[in-house]
Amino acid sequence: MQVRGSWITVLKNPVVMGIGSFVCVCLALGASATFFQPSTVTRASEEQATSLVQPAAFSLPATNEDLLGFNRHLIAIAKKVKPAVVNISIVKTTAPRRSPFPHNPFFDDPFFRKFFGERFREERRQEPRRRQQGMGSGVIVNPDGYIVTNSHVVAEGDEIQVVLGDQQKFEAKLIGTDPKTDLAIVKIEASGLPFLSWGDSSTLEVGEMVVAVGNPFGLNQTVTMGIISAVGRTGVGLADYEDFIQTDAAINPGNSGGALVNLQGELIGINTAIFTRSGGYMGIGFAIPSNMAKGVARSLKSHGKVVRGWLGVSIQDLTPDLAKQFEATDTKGALVTDVLEDSPAEDALFRRGDIIREYDGRIVENSTKLRTYVAETSPETKVSVGILREGKQRRLDVVIGQMPKDLAGLGEVGTVGERHALSGLTVESVEQSAGDTGVLVMKVQPDSRAERAGIRKDDVILEINRMTIKDVDDFDRVTSRLGEDDSVLVLLRRGRSTLFLSLGGR
């Protein structure tokens, strides 16, 4: 599966890549390349000539003991982590394709078959149901068989099988998925299993060494090493809530859901995607940070869904021009564009035009960061928020609420850019009266593709790409599959009229 054109590959569905050419190159180098050459060579005896190609005795300087000790430490980490990383395979049964030609005795007429042949008759028959297989990785985070993986690995599977490091096989039960973070929990009936402890991803620093473990291309429990290349990556386009760890540890298709650990062997990330133009490793991988994954896993285990915090503001990033207009010295923070009625933000006296610069002691770099911070906060938590209002710093205390069930898309805490053509919408389910269905447009982000296409507040969306939208769940399900460049056909009701609108890709 690819997201955003060709450069982000979700780590799933391994691609077989030949290595024969690589071996040939190595053999050729071994046969012809000269790696060292004596400065002078005289006529030597056969014994002297032989001695030229004998490797010299190699002795380690005392200073290399530290290197050997570090190597032993990496070996210990691998031994600790590998048993807790599992192979996950899924089977999905797809419905057969229907014949484009309805059955009609006319097609069985011998005269008609004389012109079109028996092959045409056979092709009209319905195809059998097909079984598709997928593969990924998972991490045991509880000795009683709870396993964290990616949502895209297991969400569409009819059957889920887990293979442990010792080759034991289990049928797994799906506990819950969260497409907004691309995380999921599955459980196997076992106890006393090896598991990984959660690390604190908020302490990660660029340059810190990490180890990745997973099942790339189905090669079980592959261990690679690298460093943290960046933290807090957003705008990648893989999920609604993004705060990715970027690493150069080699990860490939099949690593999805695998472990990223620190040098203490603690789980600090769930490997999710790679940047690639070839379909394989190119030195840029992304992992969901452990602090986010831990909260989502706990909520899925307890409730079967994710309970998120809610502030009740619409927000956007600052530009240099906006910063000047709102008397800010830089573009850091999230600009409040609206305060929702009966929300925690309204109760705490937030205003349109406030710039949120700090949340619960953490610096707010942009609207994406704020959105993630709020979502990770447990409802009923009192939080101190630092704002800039008319050029003056102020502090507001707010009791975070629970994300309303009927809010969808980017309306939960605001807007963070357009992941797809409908990202600029905030919607609610239509009240189920008189058989009404659809989602009601509550807000349209200014200058979004939705606004430019003509979608207005109070429109009711009935279909997206010819698929019926009954409620917010349908809206989430359909829009979660849209890419940034996808064109979208929307059927909506406006007053007493019904009309189609086409939204082009970016």
With a CB cutoff of 8 Å and minimum separation 6, the contacts of 292 are 181, 183, 201, 241, 243, 372, 376
Q: Of the ranges 119-123, 204-208, 345-349, 368-372, which one carries the lowest mean pLDDT score?
A: 119-123
455 in Cβ contact with 427 (< 8 Å)? no
Same domain, 480 and 436: yes
Same domain, 226 and 295: yes
**In which domain, by residue range, is 371 found?**
309-402
Q: How far apart are CA 300 and CA 352, in angstroms?
A: 34
Assigned domain for 430 exists: yes
How far is the first Cα of the chain from the last one, in angstroms, to the nearest whole number?
Answer: 19
The number of beta carbons lying within 10 Å of the beta carbon of residue 331 is 17
Same domain, 164 and 281: yes
Question: What b/e readout covers 440-471, taking b as 16+ CB neighbours within 10 angstroms?
Answer: bbbbbbeebbbeebebeeebbbbbbeeeebeb
Assigned domain for 100 exists: no
Does the active-site annotation cover 66?
Answer: no
The number of beta carbons lying within 10 Å of the beta carbon of residue 113 is 14
Assigned domain for 342 exists: yes
Q: How many helices (H) and strands (E) does the chain have?
A: 11, 29
Catalytic one of 89, 151, 229, 256: 256
Q: Of the ranges 128-137, 150-159, 307-316, which one carries the lowest mean pLDDT score?
A: 128-137
Q: What are phi and psi of 297, to 5 degrees?
A: -65, -40
Give the model confidence (pLDDT) of 310-352 as tens digits. Answer: 999 988 888 888 888 888 999 999 999 888 888 999 999 999 8
Q: Which two tokens stand for residue 226?
A: 């690298």
Q: Which residue has the higher pLDDT, 321 or 380?
A: 380
Catalytic one of 137, 151, 152, 429: 152
Q: What is the dihedral of CA 157, 172, 245, 206, to 10 degrees?
A: -150
Q: Which two tokens stand for residue 30?
A: 């071994």
Same domain, 160 and 248: yes
Same domain, 283 and 360: no
Global confidence as pTM: 0.63
Return the closest-CA partner of residue 6 out of 493, 499, 506, 485: 485
Distances (CA, A) of 9 to 15, 256, 327, 483: 12, 10, 41, 13
Q: Which residue has the higher pLDDT, 160 or 31?
A: 160
Element (H, E) at 74: helix 65-81
Same domain, 349 and 469: no
Same domain, 269 and 398: no
Q: How far apart are CA 415 and CA 317, in angstroms?
A: 9
Same domain, 493 and 450: yes
The number of beta carbons lying within 10 Å of the beta carbon of residue 380 is 10
Residue holding tokens 């200058």? 447
Task: Give the count of domains, the chain.
Answer: 3
Assigned domain for 120 exists: no
Assigned domain for 26 exists: no
Same domain, 173 and 316: no
Distances (CA, A) of 342 to 349, 350, 384, 404, 415: 11, 12, 19, 11, 19
pLDDT reading at 466 higher than 90: no
If you compute the radius of gyration of the chain from its CA atoms, what whole number of angstroms results? 28
Give the model confidence (pLDDT) of 31-60 as tens digits. Answer: 333 323 333 333 444 444 444 445 555 555
Catalytic one of 182, 243, 354, 459: 182
Q: How far apart are CA 446 and CA 452, in angstroms?
A: 9
* Residue type for position 321: D
Burial (CB count within 10 angstroms: exposed 0-12, middle 13-18, buried 19+), residue 174:
middle
With a CB cutoff of 8 Å and minimum separation 6, the contacts of 128 are 96
Instruction: List the CATH number of the domain containing 435.
Output: 2.30.42.10
Same domain, 261 and 376: no
Q: Which letter does DSSP use for residue 56 in this model? A: P
Assigned domain for 95 exists: no
Distances (CA, A) of 116 to 98, 122, 264: 20, 11, 70
Distances (CA, A) of 471 to 436, 439, 440: 10, 6, 9
Q: Which two tokens stand for residue 206?
A: 């660029």
Same domain, 186 and 282: yes
Question: What b/e readout covers 19-29, taking b as 16+ CB neighbours within 10 angstroms?
Answer: eeeeeeeeeee
* Residue type for position 267: L
Q: Which two tokens stand for residue 25?
A: 């190159």
Overall average pLDDT of the 396-419 stretch: 64
Does the active-site annotation cover 256?
Answer: yes
| Domain endpoint, select from 306, 334, 360 | 306
Angle between the N-to-C axes of helices 367-376 and 290-303, in degrees from 0 to 180, rounded to the nearest 10: 40
Does the active-site annotation cover 303?
Answer: no
Same domain, 397 and 266: no
Length of the chain: 506
Q: Which two tokens stand for residue 19?
A: 């290595």
Q: How far is CA 220 from the centre of its chain?
A: 22
Instruction: List the CATH number of the domain containing 213.
Output: 2.40.10.120
Q: Which residue has the higher pLDDT, 71 or 433?
A: 71
pLDDT reading at 414 higher than 60: no
The number of beta carbons lying within 10 Å of the beta carbon of residue 156 is 13
Q: Of the ranges 27-31, 94-98, 250-254, 276-280, which one carries the lowest mean pLDDT score?
A: 27-31
Average pLDDT score over the chain: 78
- In this predicted structure, what is the pLDDT of residue 497? 79
Assigned domain for 42 exists: no
Q: How far apart are CA 350 and CA 383, in angstroms?
A: 13
